[in-house]
Chain A
Amino acid sequence: MPDRIYITGAGVISAIGRDKDQSLRSLMEGRGGTGPLHILDASLKDYPCGEVPFTEGELRKMAGIPDDGITTRSALLGTIALKEAVLQAGLSAEDIGRAALISGSTVGGMDKSERHYLDFLSPRDRNTGYIKVHDCGSTTELIAGAVGGFSMATTLSTACSSAANAIIFGASLINAGLADIVAAGGTECLSNFHLNGFASLMILDTAPCRPFDHGRNGLNLGEGAAFVILESGSSAKRRGAKALARLSGWHNACDAFHQTATSENGDGPYLAMKGAIEMAGISPREIDYVNAHGTGTPNNDLTESRALKRVFTRKMPPVSSTKGFTGHTTSASGSIETVFCLLAMEHGFIPGNLGWTASDPDCLTPVPPSGLKADLRHVLCNSFGFGGNDSALLLSRI
């Protein structure tokens, strides 16, 4: 029987806060962070986004990174979130030295690549250093270098479920006895590549997104990063670390239907949620809250609703999407929303489903935008990605 897996630290940065405290206040007060872009020099102006309101220079200061080194915005966001998680877990240099770092990313260094692409193509040696950090793994290595330590590092890239799958792989490493401390999460910055890509698929809303709403019309992109410290029970005990929650279940399934659309009845999402609940050995009735993927696109929210109805046949637990707060933070969403779930469990509330005004008869009715007070023992957190890469995480109170 594998050791239990605990979460002993968490860190987050997004449009609604630079750390857990700010995020908690925004979530409890129902204050969203989407709006016009100010930092990204956006080629499309019509789409509100959940931008982290700091320039690269400001992020470098927050991350403790010198002004002159090559880096990516995703690496800066990730470093800030990981440092907060490491601090809360109270990891010593020796602990970090033996820990694994598992991150999720899809755009990697694309923010620099798109800015310097003409330089990249020219024979001149200008901004050449950014070619080296174009790939996803380099962003993880930049984070590892900024924090220091780590016995191994790798990067998941499964589009919008990348961070959730990073947490799942971290849990597999602990279960297999290959690590006893894993920093797992994800990071993603806004880029014109992403903005134009989602716009070309015609799934961006020009208004604030409205997950599960009758009039929903697409998603808002966001950016940010979050990491959790996963730890075996024996390691947490040895260090005297305080556990925030237990990672009691997880499941990764593939919809295997279409590159960007979800199957009619949400087969992948259904399998992911069902698998996570079964792994925890609890009944669906014991789930007190579901943090939905809930992007606000007609297809996602409909198929996720159907999948939720298949899992929760007797009683639907409260469901909300926090995408109205942060926008869809793509590769980072799985870990950002995991941290939001930890905050909700600790402080006894359910974040509101911002933007929702009217029921869609085909969708479930989410928690009202004002949120709810609730005593949460078991919380399910969904992350679904392009390619049908669907994952669910189950957090349980200690």
Chain B
Amino acid sequence: MMEKKVYIKSFSRISVLDGEPDCRAFLTPMEARRMSRMMKRAVFVSMTALQKAGIGSPDAIVTGTGLGCLENTEAFLKSLTGVNDLPLRPTSFMQSTHNTISSMIAIRTGCHGYNATYSHLGTSFESAMLDGLLQIRSGSAANVLACAFEELTPDFSRMLEKTGFGPTVKDGRLSETAVAMVLSSDPQNAICELSSVKLGRSGIPMPEGFRIITRDDAISSYGNNFSVSALAVCDGALAAAEGEKSLIYNNFSGYDQALTILLPPCGN
């Protein structure tokens, strides 16, 4: 049986190279005031990617985030541990769970379909993207909104710098990511084909004949955060659209790696 092909139809992203988005098209001032910065960005990139793909409500939503809603988590932790005297706010707790964003987008788009959030260090986004790919290949969904979000707080960036761990390796500049992309079984107007996503440990066999974008390449362009590889996938998609077969090698660590293969659309 021919395996169903999966395409990237559209994406929208916010990296250190972009300013804060203008959310007025998607949020009332009242809604915007109640949201963390990351939630506002999430609404912006999700709704923009869906609009570009001409989709109102996706069949499924998958999200990757290594650290989740840090701002709300910290707000609750600070009240809890007496760092400040502010009362414990139920809203901070409610919006501290990692799946807050995926469910908020589901509510906004009226999506009752498959909804999953992955939180696995540097391969959170690829985990979500692989799940989305399988949803389409199995025929459970015709299109999937796949997202990646990381936010940074001043306190957490100081903590990460203390550990010298993970997002701080090789490049001291820490950053944030917001990416939403529409995966679809429909090749019409697709940016590229999402040929495969592999998760594995070190030593995943590397195929030849691809333009390779590594995690370090992404870090040098966008700064470092757990989900920076999602920005590399966007770059790979643009390269594939120009006819270059692209491989995104997310060499996060010896124990978590991911390979994403993107091909020019319509079998060029």
Q: Does A154 reach chain B (CB closer than 8 Å)? A: yes
Residues of B within 8 A of A349 (CB): none
A224 to B21, CA, bound (A): 42
Q: Does A196 reach chain B (CB closer than 8 Å)? A: yes
Residue of A nearest to B100 (CB): A387
Q: Which of A4-12, A14-22, A132-140, A374-382 contacts B (4 or more CB under 8 A)?
A: A132-140
A165 to B115, CA, bound (A): 9
Interface size on A, residues (CB 8 A): 66
Residues of A within 8 A of B200 (CB): 151-152
Residues of A within 8 A of B159 (CB): 120-121, 131
Instruction: Judge whether A257 and B107 touch: CB under 8 Å.
Output: yes
Residue of B nearest to A256 (CB): B106
Instruction: Judge whether A172 and B106 touch: CB under 8 Å.
Output: no
Residues of B within 8 A of A105 (CB): 119
Q: Does A311 reach chain B (CB closer than 8 Å)? A: no
Residues of A within 8 A of B123 (CB): 137, 154
Instruction: Judge whether A197 and B96 touch: CB under 8 Å.
Output: yes
Instruction: Judge whether A158 and B116 touch: CB under 8 Å.
Output: yes
Residue of B nearest to A1 (CB): B1
Residues of A within 8 A of B97 (CB): 106, 157, 159, 386-387
Instruction: Judge whether A137 and B95 touch: CB under 8 Å.
Output: no
Tell me the smallest distance from the CB of B215 to a CB of chain A, in Å: 16
Chain B 174-216, CB-CB to A under 8 Å as 1, else 0, gives 0000000000000000000000000111000000000000000
Tell me the smallest distance from the CB of B245 to a CB of chain A, in Å: 22
Q: Which of A29-37, A48-56, A86-94, A111-119 contacts B (4 or more CB under 8 A)?
A: A111-119
Q: Does A176 reach chain B (CB closer than 8 Å)? A: yes
Tell me the smallest distance from the CB of A45 to a CB of chain B, in Å: 15
Instruction: Judge whether A176 and B137 touch: CB under 8 Å.
Output: yes
Q: A128-B162, A175-B138 are in contact. Are A118 and B81 (CB under 8 A)?
A: yes
A196 to B100, CA, bound (A): 18
Instruction: Judge whether A254 and B103 touch: CB under 8 Å.
Output: yes
Q: Does B94 reach chain A (CB closer than 8 Å)? A: yes
Interface residues of B in 54-95 (CB under 8 A from A): 61, 66-68, 76-77, 80-81, 83, 88-90, 93-95
Residues of B within 8 A of A131 (CB): 159-160, 162-163, 165
Chain A 153-185, CB-CB to B under 8 Å as 1, else 0, gives 111111100000100010011011010000000
Query: Pick the contact of A268 from B112, B124, B134, B165 — CB < 8 Å?
Result: B112
Instruction: Judge whether A254 and B120 touch: CB under 8 Å.
Output: no
Q: A121-B83, A132-B163, A176-B138 are in contact. Are A388 and B103 (CB under 8 A)?
A: yes
Tell me the smallest distance from the CB of A70 to a CB of chain B, in Å: 11
Query: Pick the contact of A254 from B61, B77, B100, B135 — CB < 8 Å?
Result: B61
16 A–B contacts, CB within 8 A, in A order: A121-B155, A128-B163, A135-B66, A136-B119, A153-B199, A153-B255, A156-B116, A156-B119, A172-B134, A196-B80, A197-B76, A197-B96, A252-B115, A254-B113, A256-B110, A256-B111
